[in-house]
Amino acid sequence: MSQTTAPARPIRARSARRPVLEGQELVLIGVIAVLWLVLSLMTDTFFTGANIRTILYAIAPVAIIGVGMTAVMVTAGIDVSVGSQLAIVTAIVATMIRDSGTGLAGAVVIALVVGCLLGSVNAALIVFGRIHPMIVTFGTLNIFRFVALQVFGDAQIAGVPDVFRPIGGSSTAVTFGIPNAMWLTLLLVAVQWAYMRYWAGGRHIYAIGNDQHAARLAGVRVNMRLFLVYVSVGAMVAIASLVQLGSGGLVQQNVGIGLEMQVIAACVIGGTSVLGGRGTVVGTLLGAVLIGTVTSAITLLGLSSQLSNLFVGVFIVLAVGIDLVRQNRRSRL
C-alpha cells in the first residue's frame, strides 16, 4: 500500500516573522512614557529642553558601549573591563590632544586603535586561552585600571581642548536640539540592529549563544565571531570615550569607574539574556534611557544619589528573574 507524503510547507526566515519591537521593549517604552509623564507633573524642570538634552548626553556613552556589550552577552559572554578600557583610551587621547595638538581625525584613529587593541587582549585570552569571560575581564579590569593610572601619572589631566565638541554634547537647530552624541548613538544602534537581525554574521552570534557546539557543527566560525565581538566592544568604548571628551576641560582619574555596571544593567533591563541567545540593541538603548531617567529624577527631586544604585539593582534583579522564568518555561516545552 502506497503512502502519500504531504508537501513540505515553505519555511520562512525567522527574522522575517519577528516584530520590529520585542515584547520587553514595548513594556520599556510604556514604563518610560509613564515615568516621564509623572515626573513632568512632579517637577517643572524635568520636561525642559535643557534637562532632556542632559539626560540624552549622559546616556550616550552607556548606550554606545551597550551596542558592543549586547552582542557579547548574546554569545553568553560578558565584559566587565569596559570602564577601565575607557579610562585608558580617555587618558591617552586627552593627553595627546592637549600636549601634541592632535586633531579630530587623528584622535579618532588613535582612540579606535587603542580600544580595539584592548578588546583584542580580552578576545585572545577568552578565545585562545579558553578562560571564562568573567574571569578574564575581571582580571583585565584591574590590569587596565593600573595602566590608566600610569598614563594619568597620579594627576588629573587639565586643560583638555574641546576637539570633540562636534560629536559630544553640542547641538544645532538642524538636529532639533538633540545632542550630536545621541544622533551618533542612534546611528550605531541602527547599524548593529540591522546587522544582528538580517546579516548571516549577526545571526551566527545568536546561534553561538544558543548552543556553541551546535553552531560549530553547523559551520559557524565560532572563534572568529567571538574574537570580533570582544574587539567591537573595544571599538565602542573608544567612541564612547570621545563622546565623554566632547566638553573638554578636566579628565579625572576615576573616569569610567562603575561604568561597566551601568552598561550591563542597560543590556539586562533591555531584555538581553544573561544566559545568551537573546537580546537586541534597541532594548539596550531603552534600558539606558530608563537608567538615565531614574538618575535625573533622583537629582531633581533632591533625593540621595545612592537611591539610583538601589533602583538600578532592583531593575537588574527583576529583569534577570523574568529572564530565568522565561528560560525555564521554554525548557519545559
17 occurs within a structural domain: no
Joined together, the cell numbers standing for residue 121 give 587582549
Task: With beta carbons less than 8 A apart as the criterion, state whether 76 and 279 touch.
Answer: no
Task: State the first-to-last Cα distance of the chain, in angstroms, to the nearest integer.
Answer: 36
pLDDT of residue 8: 42
Of 3-12, 52-61, 273-282, the poorest mean pLDDT is in: 3-12
Indicate whether 85 pLDDT > 60: yes
Which domain does 104 fall in, by range? 60-256
> What does the pLDDT look like over 159-217, one tens digit per residue?
888 888 888 767 765 567 789 999 999 999 999 999 999 999 999 999 999 999 999 99
HSE (side-chain half, CA atoms, 13 Å) at 181: 28
Indicate whether 24 pLDDT > 60: yes
pLDDT of residue 175: 65
90 occurs within a structural domain: yes
Q: Residue-wise over 194-215: b if at least 16 C-beta within 10 A, else e?
A: ebbbeeeebbbbbbbbbebeeb
Task: With beta carbons less than 8 A apart as the criterion, state whether 107 and 113 touch.
Answer: no
Which stretch of DSSP H or E encloses residue 167?
Answer: none
CA distances from 43 to 288, 302, 304, 312 (A): 22, 11, 17, 22
In angstroms, the CA 137 to CA 230 distance is: 10
Task: With beta carbons less than 8 A apart as the criterion, state whether 171 and 179 touch.
Answer: yes
308 occurs within a structural domain: no
Q: How confident is the model at residue 264 (pLDDT cuts 50, 70, 90)?
A: very high
109 occurs within a structural domain: yes
Indicate whether 7 pLDDT > 70: no
Q: How many domains does the chain have?
A: 1
pLDDT of residue 305: 79
180 occurs within a structural domain: yes
In angstroms, the CA 65 to CA 79 distance is: 10
φ, ψ dihedrals at 159, nearest 5°: 70, 35
pLDDT of residue 174: 58
Indicate whether 288 pLDDT > 50: yes
101 occurs within a structural domain: yes
Other CB atoms within 10 Å distance of the CB of residue 226:
22
141 occurs within a structural domain: yes
